[in-house]
Amino acid sequence: MENQPSTPPDNNLVWAILCTVLCCLPLGIVAIIKSSNVNTYWAQGNYEAAQKAADDAKKYSIWGAAIALIGIVLYVLFVIILGVGGAFAEF
Amino acid sequence: MVHLLNSKTFLKAILPLLLLGVLFFVYYVFNPSQSSFFLPCPLKYTTDLYCAGCGSQRAIHHLMHFEIFAAFRYNPILILSIPLLIYALIVEYLNFAFGTKHRVKLFYSNVFIVVYFGIAIVYSVLRNIPEEPFKYLAPLN
């Protein structure tokens, strides 16, 4: 193989695992599949496809984290609104 | 060390550590079972089903207080994964902060991926069975 890079692209599997054991987000599952595609393409010598799958895996992990973050912010706002509402309801 | 004087490199090196420090503090001080501001699992909240991640926040809290048994009781798969996760996160951190290209060998084996996530899926199903041996897989209430 000409131009064989020495290290495979980062498949970001650690984020997929964290998604699974911490929040079980559907995007985590897509990230897992993309991560394993990185390995498959790499083993086949298809470095371009491996890089693309790695970029996808990263993209889905970031989206997963962003959705989780938005969920947390909405949840905190929800709790605050309920708390404030509850405080007013006592009067 | 000259690199650290470069402000962008410095930020990349320091921000993940700050974030981790804040998370450590929150999960050490507050017990998710007794505090209401922790985010409940969206799946548990909407369907009342447990996923592979349910109990993780409480498990982390107990682990930080060296209550290994309690931590195990909330989420064994997380506790068993912790050595690997710590190793992998250190590698990710070094790559992110210092631009190195270290790789966790295990993650580049599809056998490992299939086995690990296979276990996670089977475990998610089993912990929802409310019968004798399986109910111990569900987090304590």
Domain residue spans of chain A: 13-89
What pLDDT, in 10s, does the model give residues A52-72?
Answer: 999 988 888 888 888 878 887
CA-nearest of B100, B123, B116, B2 to B54 is: B123
Enumerate the residues of chain A whose CB falls inside 8 A of the CB of residue B84. Answer: 17
pLDDT, residue B6, reads 72
**Across the interface, do B52 and A24 touch by the CB < 8 Å criterion?**
yes
Please state, for a pLDDT cut of 90, what percent of chain B lies above it. 26
Cβ distance B60 to B79 under 8 Å? no
B101 interface with A at CB cutoff 8 Å = yes
Would you say A33 and B64 are in contact if contact means Cβ atoms under 8 Å apart?
A: no
- Look up residue B62 and give its two tokens: 């107990």
pLDDT in tens, B104-118: 988 998 899 999 989
| pLDDT for position A1 | 47
* Token reading at A64: 């997963």
Between B74 and B9, whose confidence is greater?
B74
Chain A residues with beta carbon closer than 8 angstroms to that of B30: none
In percent, the amount of chain A with pLDDT more than 70 equals 85
pLDDT at A5: 67
Please count the residues of chain B.
Answer: 141
Does the pLDDT value for residue B133 go beyond 50? yes
Which residues in chain A are contacts of B41 at CB distance < 8 A? 23-24
Tens digits of residue pLDDT in B83-95: 999 999 999 999 9
pLDDT at B126: 92
ipTM for the assembly:
0.75
The rounded distance, in Å, linking the Cα atoms of B25 and A76 is 18
Shortest CA gap A91–chain B (Å): 23
Please tell me which residue, B38 or B134, carries the higher pLDDT value: B134
Identify the pLDDT of residue A40.
93
**C-alpha closest to that of A28 among A37, A18, A36, A38:** A18
CB pair distance less than 8 Å for A20 and B56: no
pLDDT tens-place string over residues A8-61? 888 888 888 888 777 666 777 888 888 999 999 999 999 999 999 999 888 888
Report residue B4's pLDDT band, with 50, 70 and 90 as the boundaries: low
The pLDDT score that the predictor gives to residue A90 is: 59
